Structure 1
Amino acid sequence: MPILPNPRHWRRLLVAAGALAVIAASGNWAERHELRTKTEGLRQAAAAHVLGLRGLVEKHDFLPHAASRHPDVQALLRNPRDAALRARVNDYFADLQATTGAAALFLVDRAGLTLAASNWNLPSSFVGQSYRQRPYFQDAVQGRRGLFYGLGLTTGQSGLFIAEPVQADGAILGVVVVKISLEPLQAAWMRGADPVVLRDNHGIVFLSAVPDWLFHAIRPVSAADLRWIVAHRQYGDRDRFYVLPWETETRGTAPAFVLHTRAENRRMDLLALDTPLPELGWTLTVTTDMKEVVQARQLALVLAALAVALLLLGVLYWRLREKRFIEQKTARIELERRVEERTRDLEEAHAFRKAMEDSLLVGMRARDPEGKIIYVNPALCAMVGYSAQELLGRRPPYPYWHPDDLEKQARESDEVLQGRAAPHGFESRIRHKDGHDVITMVYTAPLVDAQGVHRGWMSSVVDITAQKQAEARQRDQEVRLQRSARLASVGEMASTLAHELNQPLMALSNFAVAARALAVQSAPPDMLAGALDEIVEQSTRASEIVKRVRAFINPQRAQYEILDIDGVVKHAAALLMPELRRDGIALRLALDDDGARVRGDRVLLEQVLVNLIHNAMHAMQDRPRGSIELASRRADQGVRVTVADEGPGIPFEQREQIFAPFFTTRPDGLGLGLNICRTIVEAHGGCMTVDSAAGGGAAFSFTLPTVLPTAP
């Protein structure tokens, strides 16, 4: 006759299975909830990126259409040999490029030859280049709007090309093309925390926050697509596109998918979402780290396990109480049976409790009042590397105490045994049996039996080695961030040199052109010698600027001297007089001429005045008949120098940030000039201010302390 299984065992199996099902369901629910939250965040991020991309394209979409209607553009296509007409179109395109911020504009005839371009005066000019093999030209010359992203054939720089046919009297005369650079967008992506990727209809990544992914494909490129890409030189000379190390995994019916990949020699698990841009033929992929999803699932599993454990303990406790109540009502004759049943129940409860203690991740250790170990659980044995047989009965010093901390651990052990344990626990370093160190937190409570007698001490030991390592990595990260800040300072100083050297280098170029013209025209020797002297003077000035910037970095190298401030003002005005005459701007000097003298660096102070006068000239570019006033006058214990223009003035809301680094209102400005000027003035012990009248005009002033003349 077969033996039937004990119904009690079946119930326990069902309870255990139900508990596991509840725990698993909690983890799955938390994971799905976090995935939904992350997916919604990805949708919002994708919408923002798509809005930015479309806005960038729509911002420049009108340019080729508007330029194709310009009469000079159509006239040049009919008369391509007219030099004056070509010059006007070049200037028109240069103005459009400077106003709109486009990378370039150029005009191509029906044969694909470039007639005019916004960069006509640069070494990388498009003028004279043939682009007949480019898809955007082929589409536009057939009367369609051309749209193409690729590397430039002339400059090698990537960009989005928008082409529009130039039509007149029902015929297509040529093509106007505008090039838009997406590199600023890619730079913004690289500064973000989560990777963003943009790929074309061939699956090739051409814009990415991860540089290692650029010009790689998400799938093998077909032979036909590869021939098309190479024939049109879409990505320069590249004829091979390796497949990205991407492994995708779908989770349910959510539009997002899990992306397993590697970047910068580390594995990445990302939640990704694709957003197609059909009007451009592109696909945008935004991602976010899966770490929070995994953490949410793990946390839900732990909390559910604790809740189920507490529920089971409550049920067990209720069952024991119920049995005790029933046993008290049982007759004396059933005492032996009751004792036997209760003993069996206690053994089962003890086994259950021991199984729970053995499954804990926290180490448990019990000691008697003299410090002898009377109980350890498997978690503690795994933490120290010693078996329970090796630890039970041992007295201090214990084998896992760290040899370098024996005195400290002996002192902490004595304080615990004397009842002076810290309620918030204490940190302790121990040595694993195999030799590696383990950092722990120890919490101790009295061990009291059922009769209320103190039997020893129970300690919970938590392994915090991973937490300590994470803190160490965070400190390393802070060090790297400080290093990045220093590199940023170096970059700012490089920008300072570039900004300050621009003026003498432009003067060098102008005087060199003048000298070449004088030499070709066989001008008088004294005129040629004068131009060459100016070149030597500007070269010396550029060298002095480099020396002064180095001295500005290291004040010990500064070359300060006693200067006549009016002489400094007059020399700075003389440097810019040719440019002022060229632009038709008058410079009025209003100097006290009272011999005010200051202690400073002549070149740096002249550079402050040159920058301020240049800013005034830019502010008056729409008023070529205006004037600039350059004045100096006494002010308390110093001298005040003012550069005033007749421009539109400075809005009130911009005056607080006008001296901030990289703040500029000019599309081609670096935003460093005024910041550098104020820094130089403050290095000379002075201060700098700005005033703007309600009717227009701005006045930049700086005040320097004067020095008393020395006795003869």
Structure 2
Amino acid sequence: MLPRLKQKFLQWKWLHLLVIGLLAVLLLWQTALLTWNKELKNLEEQATNELLLHVTALRGKLQKYDYLAELLTTKEDLSLYLKPDTDRDKLQQLNLTLDTYRAIADVSDIYLMNAQGTTLAASNWWRADSFVNQNFSFRPYFQEAMQGEQGRFYGLGTSSGARGYYFSFPVHYQDEVQGVLVVKIEIHAIEEPWRDPSGELLVTDPDGVIFISSRPEWRLSTLERLAPAELERINESLRYAGRILKPLPVQEKESVSAEAQRLSIRMSDDLPKDYLMLSQEMPEAGWQAHIIKRLDPVRKQVLQITLLTGFALVILAFTAFYLLQRRRVLQKQEAWKEEAHRALQEAHDELENRVAARTADLSSSNRRLLEEIQQRQQTETALRSTQRELVQTAKLAVLGQLSASINHELNQPLAALRSYAENARTFLARNRPETADSNLEQILELTERMAEISAQLKMFSRKSGEQLVPVSVQAACDYALRLYRNQLEQQQVEIEMDFPDQEVFVLADMVRLEQLLVNLLSNALHAIKASDRKKIRLGVTYQKETGQDWVKIQVWDTGPGIAPDQFEEIFDPFVTSKEPGQGLGLGLSISNRIAQDLNGKLIAGNHLHFRELHEPAKTAPVSGAVFSLYLPASYPETSQDNPGETHV
């Protein structure tokens, strides 16, 4: 009887365990499903808000230039340039005017076309891919404007191949449309702020071609595979310049809600990734904006909630088992309970002590970190102050080196002043005021010369500012040469200046640029002391590198050059090839630091030769050092005739 009861009890026990296990699985599945729907809804709301913000921003950028073409047609009488007999000088003046408007409005290009669609003037007239003399009558924006309407168009440029958005407006003459003015903006400027590691932003045309994308490899792809007839129609429109339009590698697509879809896209690393895509129409631009958010965070959250629920169920099961066992052996385990309680309390106390100790360690570490940050800030402030004082000290050191020359410059006028004053007194005593007046004029000229020398020293010793502004390179070089004029004349140094016809500007600080050029000129003078041929050349050229315009200022000399073992340490402090007492070795180190502060760079090297323009080709090579200073170019409105072109 007892074995049968025991067997029946075991059967009911296993049945209960099976039912509990099935309920636990059902609970976990429901938890995962509810979490998935909730997180997916949250992600959809977040994506909707982000898409609304991006669409609003995109509309704002397009509306910013919507009335620019119309405004320019009212500001300028463009019909004067549409006559067949318009001469080149007028069209060139219009080119310059359009380029000025382009720079002010911060757009890509502005150009004027006649009634036949031929471009007469453009802001990019000076570039190799200029629109001048090109015909764009096939573009829809031209055809719309010729019908008297404001035109809009987006596509790839036939000349540049870059993506652009075009705004056109008709040019009227005697109530007839005689031409079209077009304003073009580049699309890549719109994409720059679209960087989101958790998703992608797309803009497609009515055919589903991706025109704007935060992911470069998706541009000019299609959301779906297009039929051959549609591809042929798109190619005939020349909107995308005959580019091959491939579909995105979408493996799966399903609707999640009325506004959202789930996409599975195979990425460049051949690993498919799931996205949630929402779309919004932009009828005014002819576009449809999409935002694609990755579903990995949703899956991660579902996994975490499911694991937590499973863990809670395990804890609950162990708790139930513990309660059952506790009820069965309550009396036998009373003593063990007290002992376990004490052990648990001790463990709790030990844990609290460890937490308190760890908290104290973290607080101490935070205090030390704050102190270290304050010390670093103080050190950086002291370093900047020391650097400024070091530059000022270097200036005073140069003033000390120039003291003998300045003394000579001032002694000569002083001696002449004394002689002219004594002569004036003598002529006045002899009643010859005209001759005395001539001597007084000489005295005035000498005092002006002494004041000019004093003003140069005062200007050289002043401290520099912090803000970078457009600075004339020719003015800085002229100042450095005037400061060393006496030494150049005494040593009979030949100066060659290879400057552009127009004034060159860089973004710098006048005082620090003058200090840098003075240091380079001082080194060149020292290098050619023992040379048979004493010559210094200053050259200025434009140079374009890494998408930025630079001005290269070079100082050449005919000295012995730089030794190969000195190149690695030539810009280190207190490294000098001068004799003891001739310098501290700080000039090039300070010059290099000044170049870095001005967002430029200073490069030292040797040249094999440089020849005068009128010397015969058989002239023997001359070796020496050359220092090349690169500074960002600046184009003030008064000097921006042809930006980006090399003048030398």
Assess if the C-alpha contact under 8 Å between 1:151 and 1:236 holds in 2.
yes
User: Which among 288, 291, 303 is matched to residue 283 of structure 1?
Assistant: 288
1:35 is matched with which residue?
40
User: Which among 114, 119, 122 is matched to residue 119 of structure 2?
Assistant: 114
Closer, same or farther: CA 266–223 of 1 in aligned 2, 3 Å: closer
Map 1:119-518 to 2 at 5 A.
119-186=124-191, 189=194, 194-222=199-227, 225-238=230-243, 240-250=244-254, 252-253=256-257, 255-267=259-271, 268-322=273-327
- Paired with 1:18 and 1:55, the residues of 2 have a C-alpha distance of 55
Structure 1 residue 242: deviation in Å? 2.6
For residue 182 of structure 2, give the secondary structure of its aligned residue in structure 1: strand
Structure 1 residue 176: deviation in Å? 0.9
2:63 is matched with which residue?
58
Query: Is 1:574 aligned to 2:574, yes or no?
Result: no
2:23 is matched with which residue?
18
Assess if the C-alpha contact under 8 Å between 1:72 and 1:85 holds in 2.
no
- Paired with 2:260 and 2:294, the residues of 1 have a C-alpha distance of 13
Instruction: Give deviations 1:11-38, integer Å, cap 9, x for gaps.
Output: 5454333322221222223333433443
- Paired with 1:578 and 1:22, the residues of 2 have a C-alpha distance of 84
1:101 is matched with which residue?
106
Assess if the C-alpha contact under 8 Å between 1:259 and 1:272 holds in 2.
yes
- Paired with 2:83 and 2:306, the residues of 1 have a C-alpha distance of 77
Assess if the C-alpha contact under 8 Å between 2:202 and 2:214 holds in 1.
yes
Structure 2 spans left out of the alignment, 5+ residues: 1-7, 333-480, 529-534, 544-548, 552-581, 606-624, 632-648
1:317 aligned partner, one-letter code:
Y
2:313 aligned partner, one-letter code:
V
Map 1:612-651 to 2 at 5 A.
none
Closer, same or farther: CA 231–608 of 1 in aligned 2, 3 Å: closer
- Paired with 2:219 and 2:542, the residues of 1 have a C-alpha distance of 43
User: TM-score w.r.t. structure 1 length?
Assistant: 0.47
For residue 574 of structure 1, give the secondary structure of its aligned residue in structure 2: strand
Instruction: Give deviations 1:211-240, integer Å, cap 9, x for gaps.
Output: 4323221123355643442222111123x5
Structure 1 residue 565: deviation in Å? 8.4
Assess if the C-alpha contact under 8 Å between 2:497 and 2:538 holds in 1.
no
Closer, same or farther: CA 55–318 of 1 in aligned 2, 3 Å: same
Assess if the C-alpha contact under 8 Å between 2:171 and 2:177 holds in 1.
yes
Closer, same or farther: CA 604–16 of 1 in aligned 2, 3 Å: farther
Closer, same or farther: CA 313–96 of 1 in aligned 2, 3 Å: same
For residue 148 of structure 2, give the secondary structure of its aligned residue in structure 1: coil
- Paired with 1:295 and 1:604, the residues of 2 have a C-alpha distance of 69
Assess if the C-alpha contact under 8 Å between 1:564 and 1:595 holds in 2.
no
Instruction: Give deviations 1:108-143, integer Å, cap 9, x for gaps.
Output: 122212121111222222121111111111111112
1:676 aligned partner, one-letter code:
G
For residue 108 of structure 1, give the secondary structure of its aligned residue in structure 2: strand
- Paired with 2:18 and 2:117, the residues of 1 have a C-alpha distance of 81
For residue 130 of structure 1, give the secondary structure of its aligned residue in structure 2: coil
Instruction: Give deviations 1:496-540, integer Å, cap 9, x for gaps.
Output: xxxxxxxxxxxxxxxxxxxxxxxxxxxxxxxxxxxxxxxxxxxxx
Instruction: Give deviations 1:450-499, integer Å, cap 9, x for gaps.
Output: xxxxxxxxxxxxxxxxxxxxxxxxxxxxxxxxxxxxxxxxxxxxxxxxxx
- Paired with 1:658 and 1:280, the residues of 2 have a C-alpha distance of 49
- Which deviates the most, 270-279 or 186-195? 186-195
Structure 1 spans left out of the alignment, 5+ residues: 328-562, 617-634, 642-656, 662-673, 690-712
Assess if the C-alpha contact under 8 Å between 1:258 and 1:269 holds in 2.
yes
Structure 1 residue 679: deviation in Å? 7.6
- Paired with 1:246 and 1:597, the residues of 2 have a C-alpha distance of 67
- Which deviates the most, 126-135 or 207-216? 207-216
Closer, same or farther: CA 145–9 of 1 in aligned 2, 3 Å: farther
1:445 is matched with which residue?
none
Structure 1 residue 306: deviation in Å? 1.3
1:123 aligned partner, one-letter code:
A
2:285 aligned partner, one-letter code:
L
- Paired with 2:520 and 2:224, the residues of 1 have a C-alpha distance of 77
- Paired with 1:177 and 1:290, the residues of 2 have a C-alpha distance of 43
Assess if the C-alpha contact under 8 Å between 2:195 and 2:214 holds in 1.
yes
User: TM-score w.r.t. structure 2 length?
Assistant: 0.51
Assess if the C-alpha contact under 8 Å between 2:94 and 2:121 holds in 1.
yes
Closer, same or farther: CA 90–564 of 1 in aligned 2, 3 Å: closer
Assess if the C-alpha contact under 8 Å between 1:198 and 1:285 holds in 2.
yes
Assess if the C-alpha contact under 8 Å between 2:497 and 2:537 holds in 1.
no
1:675 is matched with which residue?
599
User: Which among 598, 617, 625 is matched to residue 523 of structure 2?
Assistant: 598
Instruction: Give deviations 1:356-379, integer Å, cap 9, x for gaps.
Output: xxxxxxxxxxxxxxxxxxxxxxxx
Structure 1 residue 48: deviation in Å? 4.2
For residue 599 of structure 2, give the secondary structure of its aligned residue in structure 1: helix
For residue 86 of structure 2, give the secondary structure of its aligned residue in structure 1: coil
2:523 aligned partner, one-letter code:
V
Structure 1 residue 65: deviation in Å? 1.0
Closer, same or farther: CA 152–275 of 1 in aligned 2, 3 Å: same
For residue 499 of structure 2, give the secondary structure of its aligned residue in structure 1: helix
2:40 aligned partner, one-letter code:
L
Closer, same or farther: CA 595–206 of 1 in aligned 2, 3 Å: closer
Over aligned residue pairs, what C-alpha RMSD do you find?
Answer: 5.0
Relative contact order, CA 8 A, sep 6+: which one is greater? 2
Structure 1 residue 572: deviation in Å? 8.8
- Which deviates the most, 573-582 or 14-23? 573-582
Closer, same or farther: CA 183–21 of 1 in aligned 2, 3 Å: same
- Paired with 2:502 and 2:142, the residues of 1 have a C-alpha distance of 41
Closer, same or farther: CA 142–572 of 1 in aligned 2, 3 Å: farther
Instruction: Give deviations 1:635-676, integer Å, cap 9, x for gaps.
Output: 9979999xxxxxxxxxxxxxxx99779xxxxxxxxxxxx322
- Paired with 1:244 and 1:121, the residues of 2 have a C-alpha distance of 39
- Paired with 1:601 and 1:27, the residues of 2 have a C-alpha distance of 80
For residue 281 of structure 2, give the secondary structure of its aligned residue in structure 1: strand
